[in-house]
Structure 1
């Protein structure tokens, strides 16, 4: 029975990028994560692995993990380090939001980030430095790619219908170039893209990645100027860089048909409720979660509803999503910009880090290294005194080998030590003051990093609790006096309106 009660289903996510940097192998990441799971009472129910991929949106197993999280299969994701999740803090905020909404938490095998408000800040700082590293690496890679593009190199890009020749330049592929030409010709004659795709798949043809053709494959092929023999990379554009597969006349005709057939689909995005898991009813203490509905006019209304109210145990009225989110964000950005706030948070994070970082493994290695050094020194004294036997020689070799192993292990522990200096934390947190508050990803990251909880009371006043412990971590807010509205033309403007005029409920 106890085993069932302690059962915490978890999955492991591992990623390796092939940009040339020295990183842990996939096998090493999985080994470390499995050891972490065993030590901390998790039961691993699955693994998600992406190899040689860095862009979050393009990682197939990462996206599969996000989808699976909606099914309630697991409650935790274990990663080797923070930079395995995302090296862009905006992506990180949005994907954490999705996992959190599905009741899933993140854990890191090689970085000590225990529970607690300061731990959230520390995690954000680590992600920020991972992004900084990634940006520097990206700049170096881009610089190398640009130099190669000046020589019209393929840059490792695969294009259906083309292949790489001995000089790393594009040339038509005898096996697939005729299929590309056929696609252009059939589409130019009025064939529907859907019918062309079905025929290609039925005949056994596959894309450059080995997958069946889809409704998105054809437009990508039909719009690709490389089939005209044109090389394009950033501001580099060279006509007739390699033999064309289709004529300019055929290409232009297909572009005209694509424009005529194109219909911009309405945006199909799930509404993002920024305060999910942060907003609580001040009357009964239950979480307030996102909901929506459509009025008679067809207008969509989004709001937060007390979970106690949903169960008919609380009479707290629902509150308009935009009203409460803009109100909280306006106060949050104001407080973050206040003199001394960043320094106070940084001090708390440093204290928290010192109290929670586990250096026991490192200290044990250092202690054993000192013991080996002492034993080696004693043995050397014996040898100098003339006590030389096969045993002393063998023991000296063993001690020297152990010292080498310990030195390497200590270096590895120091490399994975997540401890940050105070000035590093301040430098990172200062960057929040320059963010675009109208950007959805930045808003999510701001709330996820600094905001611990929001309590909304019957008189529409709020209490904001921030992610650091101790004094002055809560702010009482009178909604009627500090309401902010998002102006379409000029961002945020402060308005002071009577409470009854605020569009707070749907």
Structure 2
């Protein structure tokens, strides 16, 4: 017997009644029941195999099944049933009036088995067509991943108001560089993020979330590698997703494993350019260059932080400097730079879309294989979404000026904000305010990022990657001033 979802929808109870009635009419005794939960379209069904094993051991002399198509939706299993009959085991079908021991009965059964196998193949093809149609419409026809809610057939998934913010937090924590997968798993338990069954996330579950582009608005089918644009609302940006993938692949510095050291991966040796690795000894964290024969010695974390704080003090601006920069940003040069930045994003978007179109032509011509096509398409689709986000988030001049005024006010108290920041916030500030962060002997060399140097010279609007550094810094500073009560508590400690 098989489940109600299969065949014409006859329930297990109805199948069992039909088999019992057949056994009574034929003076047969049922010694054991086998109820198959797996689809007959696939071979290797566990209950089916267990039944075969019992028959081959001589535990029974015959087999009664509800219908031929309960066993013959794949021809491999049908051949196995033929072998049972050839070895002397009687095969009966409760709803079929045929004699499986006769040539005519076997022929009739074979014809019905082939028809059943063809039916399931056709049904599978139609199901695949239906699924692909949904996917091309931007709809995900499977169970919603963690962070989204199902809304019935033909409707896009919607963000879960409880779990969606936690998913976003998970990505932001990993993108901060302060967490490994294992520490992120612990953090997911702390913030209350659970899997679909309501249990705590496993390590594999955390990695599955971080690898899923569904949260950016894309649908990726793992089995085929094909990516579709989705109609659901993204939970995170394509930029944040790319940052996470870069960290996971090792493109954005080392990943933490046991300790969330403040400056892990941020500083390099000024002599040999090797990474300064943290070590905890007797309650103190020391940063050391691990390359042999390098003259750089260890430097305590608190000493590095003191020099970082002094450098931030040096970068703070007074009222006169703020006025000078504001006058500069209100000039015609800003309008031109703003226009050029937006135009640059639009040109890159057009180029990415053209590359996507050419990629399809290459697949049709046979110049690239399907796996390469799917991988490149996924990468280009993510890049396209990132550029679209950049264009959508590029503020108008009035909004940009308000942001600049906020930024100038924050730059007046940069060191003070750093002091009250939490470690992940401090890392963001150090990484995006300073470039070429090096340790030379007992001192630290900190060079301001290009966007800061530009702000003090003649280019008021940073572009590209420098724009990202500035935006991340501004976002972090703004977050620091959003909660006055929390800031007061931090200062109190």
Which structure dedicates a bigger proportion of its chain to helix? Answer: 2
Larger RCO of the pair (alpha carbons < 8 Å, separation 6+): 1
- More strand by proportion, 1 or 2? 1
